[in-house]
Amino acid sequence: MEENQYTANSKRYENSSLIYRRCGHSGILLPKVSLGLWQNFGSTSPFDKSRQILHTAFDNGITHFDLANNYGPPYGTAEETFGTIMERDFRPYRDEMFISTKAGYDMWEGPYGNWGSRKYLIASLDQSLKRMKLDYVDLFYTHRYDPHTPLEETLQAIVDIVRAGKALYAGISRWPLEALKFAYDYLRERDVPLLIYQGRLNLLDRAPQEEGILDFCRQKGVGFISFSPLAQGLLTERYLNDIPQDSRMKENRTLTADRLTPELIRYLHTVKSIADSRGENMAQTALAWILEQEGVTSTLVGASSAKQLMNNLCCINSASFSEEHLNILG
């Protein structure tokens, strides 16, 4: 027997009435806390740490794992890490998992490795499936809106991907409202209903609410999953006093120190005081706030350790917010 063989925790679904929410008007239940592999799972991250985070997630009822062709760094390597763990540990549990990937950003050189053409989307998904060692993904997203490709071309590629059995459901990320409305109709008319919209919603960024995206999803029975729910770590205690050596901000790639304006620090201290009065830490409070917004199915957290992930999971037991706290949070 292999020394490190993985057997999933037999109690992983014990808390299930608290953990799962229905995704819009669909048959799919998603955990309130899902795990994203944007960072901390590429070939530059220690493999054993990434593996431990993935095991911890699944052992605690997190069944949804979100990837994209360009997650790493470098690009593609988060899918490779996931594929290695799929082969080594997760294969017996494949049918208990809801795995998504995406295409939309610059992935390979030349005119066909980016944006929303049929050629790019179909080739990219084939590459992703190889890296993840999967026959199909549960959910395939167009990762961003492409203003130059006809929407019909992008959407028909998604329809054909689903009909070919390479993805079970269709998703859209970061599309503006008008394009989302078009996509919803196009997909519905072809019997490939839009399962979910992925957008950035957190205490510091309310765009999906302000732009009417969340309302549209709720009215139409489309699920909504919020990415970067902790604003990449800003909405935790991590940056209240300084910039820790082992933090994402120290890497200076996707989160930079210029975000830490005096105004933001003041707001973070407000969130901290509300979290204190709720007996929580900031991450739990920030995630609980998202889960309380009408129309939200799940939060898509990142984590650089299993400990962070376990902490984030505590939000599923959080109490509702008082009117006073909601007013203070804005």
Ligand X SMILES: NC(=O)c1ccc[n+]([C@@H]2O[C@H](COP(=O)([O-])OP(=O)(O)OC[C@H]3O[C@@H](n4cnc5c(N)ncnc54)[C@H](OP(=O)(O)O)[C@@H]3O)[C@@H](O)[C@H]2O)c1
Are residues 167 and 196 in contact, defined by beta-carbon separation less than 8 angstroms? no
Contact between residue 114 and residue 148 where contact means Cβ atoms under 8 Å apart:
no
Which CB atom, from 51 or from 143, has the smaller least distance to ligand X?
Answer: 143
Written as six digits, the tokens of 233 are 């770590």
Span interacting with ligand X, options 13-21, 35-43, 159-167, 270-278, rule CB under 6 A: 35-43
Q: Does 198 bind ligand X (CB under 6 A)?
A: yes
Angle of CA points 32, 14, 321, to nearest 5° = 40
**Using the rule CB under 6 A, is 142 a contact of ligand X?**
no
CB atoms within 10 A of CB 160: 15
227 in contact with ligand X (CB under 6 A): yes
* Separation CA 298–CA 29 (nearest Å): 10
- The answer to the question of residue 36 lying near ligand X (CB under 6 A) is yes
Output 154 or 228, the one with its CB closest to ligand X: 228
Judged by CB under 6 A, which of 45, 238, 267, 271 binds ligand X?
Answer: 238
Q: Which of 116, 193, 208, 229 binds ligand X (CB under 6 A)?
A: 229
- Scanning 8-16, 178-186, 207-215, 308-316 for contacts with ligand X by CB under 6 A, the matching segment is 308-316
Other Cβ atoms closer than 10 A to 306? 18
Residue 76, CA distances (Å) to 35, 205, 206, 221, 250 in order: 17, 28, 30, 32, 23
38 touches ligand X by CB under 6 A = yes
Q: Which stretch binds ligand X (CB under 6 A): 164-172, 203-211, 233-241, 315-323?
A: 233-241
Number of residues that bind ligand X (CB under 6 A): 30
- Under the binding rule (CB under 6 A), the answer on residue 230 touching ligand X is yes
Rule CB under 6 A: say whether 174 interacts with ligand X. yes
DSSP track, 55-84: HHHHHTT--EEE--TT-TTTTTHHHHHHHH
For residue 101, the minimal CB distance to ligand X (Å) is 10
Could you give the C-alpha distances from 163 to 78, 188, 191, 288, 315, in angstroms and in order? 26, 14, 10, 37, 37
CA distance 149 to 229: 30
CB of 294 to ligand X, least distance (A): 21
Q: Is there binding between residue 233 and ligand X (CB under 6 A)?
A: yes
| Closer CB to ligand X, 36 or 193, in the complex | 36
Q: How far is the CB of 68 from ligand X (least distance, A)?
A: 7
Helices 177-189 and 213-220 pack at an angle, to 10 degrees, of: 20
Nearer to ligand X, 8 or 314 (CB): 314
77 in contact with ligand X (CB under 6 A): no
Among residues 19, 28, 37, 170, the one that binds ligand X under rule CB under 6 A: 37
Gap between the Cα atoms of 316 and 295, Å rounded? 16
Closest CA to 255 of 281, 280, 236, 270: 236
Q: Give the contacts of 161 (CB within 8 A, at least 6 positions apart).
A: 121, 122, 125, 140, 167, 170
Stretch in the footprint of ligand X (CB under 6 A) among 16-24, 38-46, 131-139, 209-217: 38-46
Q: Is 297 in the site for ligand X (CB under 6 A)?
A: no
Q: Give the single-character DSSP code of 202.
A: B
Q: Which of 240, 304, 321, 328 binds ligand X (CB under 6 A)?
A: 304
Query: Which chain residues interact with ligand X by CB under 6 A?
Result: 36-40, 66, 143, 173-174, 198, 227-233, 236, 238, 247-248, 283, 300-304, 308, 311-312
